[in-house]
Amino acid sequence: MMVRKVCVIGAGLTLFRRRMLETGKELSFEACRMALDSAGIQRKEVDSVVMGSAPDAFDGVHMKGEYLLDGAGGYKRPYSRVYVGGATGVYVPVSAWWHVASGMSDVCLAVAEEKMSPLQPHPQYAFWSIFDHHMERPLGVTLLWIFALEMRRYMAVHGIKEEEIAQVSVKNKHNAIDHPCAQLPAEITVEDVMKSEPMVWPVKRLDVSPPSDGAGAVILCSEEFAKKMTKEPIYVAGCGWNIDSTYWTNRDLYYPQYLENAAKMAYKQAGIANPRKEIDVAEVYDPFDYKELHHMEGLQLAKKGEAPKLTTAGVTQRNGELPINPSGGLLGVGNPIAAAGMMKVCEIYFQLTHQAGKRQVKKEVHTGLAQAWGDLMQYSSVFVMRRR
């Protein structure tokens, strides 16, 4: 494969909040402005822009990519919006990567925005119509049903307890205390999670991340450009993406095979043979606590059914052997869908450049991974970065 080396030279992130005064354009602008400042460049140096945002239904603006473009820095640039549901935030830098890797752009701005607060009575209603109109919708299915069925199946296959899963929420909300953008940082206990309001059994209130407004951005560029800007560029080591069947009734709910495929695609490009040893820190998509465990296994960071044990043993803590979601994740920082995935990419960039402040993991980090999950719960995007 004849591709150029691609680097990441800047990142920006807005506050994540339940309801922001800023419009989606204004949120996008804030994130892009911060990313440009962080890279030390101006918009005139940006050759192309990739924008990511999840359903138009959230903002209540159709053709949201077009609506957001001036805030996203896309004015009079090669500009596109990408959308793969919840996996969008990590797919945006993947798309930006090929803009630069192909030689089409030297500098590509990758920005993800979500403003969920306009949708009434709750952003969840955007998902009403993603289900099959004659096989699923007649039952009144909601997104939470699938999560509940998936969580239950995962627990049953491996004999996992709800309390083990709840540890993830406790860890991530705790980690988020050190994140300046975080919406729901908290010191909670496993008991708090267990006692929280049941939503769709076994999914409880504190197993779930909150809807949010927010935006994030990173700057990707050629190696040549990066070397002009910094002595220690962060390289994009590998990208992967993969999708399973449209029919969730026809998938293995206990194990995300599509994620294994996406991860292996990225690992092959990155030359990673043993991810458990070679990945130093990972931001794994955690809209629900069980998903962090599910995704660790799909990413080959844990064996099937092993992720809860690693969590109990403290391996995934910020000072652990394999820190997972040192940012605080979606459970703690918040879940403005596309922006949440981008938050993870930003966190890995901050970790690799030692800009994570109090969130900096204890061990030395060279290789980090960000992952997101979406579409109809069957898509995964993976982005691996490396410090030379």
Partner 1 sequence: MERITEGDQIRRWNDHIPLQWKYTAGVAGERFLQLLKQGKIQASVCRSCNKTYLPPKIFCKECFAQLSEWRDVPSDSGYVYSFTAVNGEIIALVKFDGVDGGLLGRLRKGREGPRIGIKVKAVFRRKEDRKGALSDIEYFERTGV
Interface with partner 1 (CB under 8 A):
21-23, 25-26, 29, 32-33, 36, 42-44, 57, 59-60, 70-71, 73, 75, 117-121, 125-126, 128-129, 133-134, 137
Burial label, 205 (beta-carbon count in 10 A; 0-12, 13-18, 19+)? middle
Burial label, 140 (beta-carbon count in 10 A; 0-12, 13-18, 19+)? exposed
Nearest approach in angstroms of CB 57 to partner 1 is 6
Which phi-psi region, left, alpha or beta, contains residue 271 (left: φ > 0; alpha: ψ -120 to 50)? left
Nearest approach in angstroms of CB 56 to partner 1 is 10
Nearest approach in angstroms of CB 105 to partner 1 is 17
Cβ closest to partner 1, residue 59 vs residue 375: 59
Closest C-alpha among 146, 194, 201 to residue 167:
194
Closest C-alpha among 318, 326, 366 to residue 346:
326
Closest C-alpha among 358, 356, 286 to residue 316:
286
Alpha-carbon span 56 to 99, nearest angstrom: 25
Nearest approach in angstroms of CB 246 to partner 1 is 19
Cβ closest to partner 1, residue 41 vs residue 208: 41
Token output for 190: 């496993």
Please tell me what DSSP assigns to residue 235.
E
Nearest approach in angstroms of CB 140 to partner 1 is 11
Assign 236 to helix, strand or coil: strand
Cβ closest to partner 1, residue 61 vs residue 170: 61
Are 10 and 230 in contact by the 8 Å Cβ rule? The answer is no
Nearest approach in angstroms of CB 108 to partner 1 is 15
Do the bridges between strand 367-374 and strand 379-387 make them parallel or antiparallel, or are there none, so unpaired? Answer: antiparallel
Token output for 358: 């109090």
Cβ closest to partner 1, residue 102 vs residue 129: 129
Nearest approach in angstroms of CB 122 to partner 1 is 10
- 134 CB contacts (<8 Å, ≥6 apart)? none
Closest C-alpha among 312, 384, 380, 377 to residue 351:
384
Cβ closest to partner 1, residue 65 vs residue 298: 65
Cβ closest to partner 1, residue 75 vs residue 247: 75
Cβ closest to partner 1, residue 115 vs residue 264: 115
Cβ closest to partner 1, residue 119 vs residue 200: 119
Nearest approach in angstroms of CB 43 to partner 1 is 4
Token output for 362: 């204890």
Cβ closest to partner 1, residue 129 vs residue 319: 129
What is the distance, to the nearest Å, from the Cα of residue 99 to the centroid of all Cα atoms in its chain?
A: 20
Nearest approach in angstroms of CB 193 to partner 1 is 31
Cis peptide before 202 (omega within 30 of 0): yes
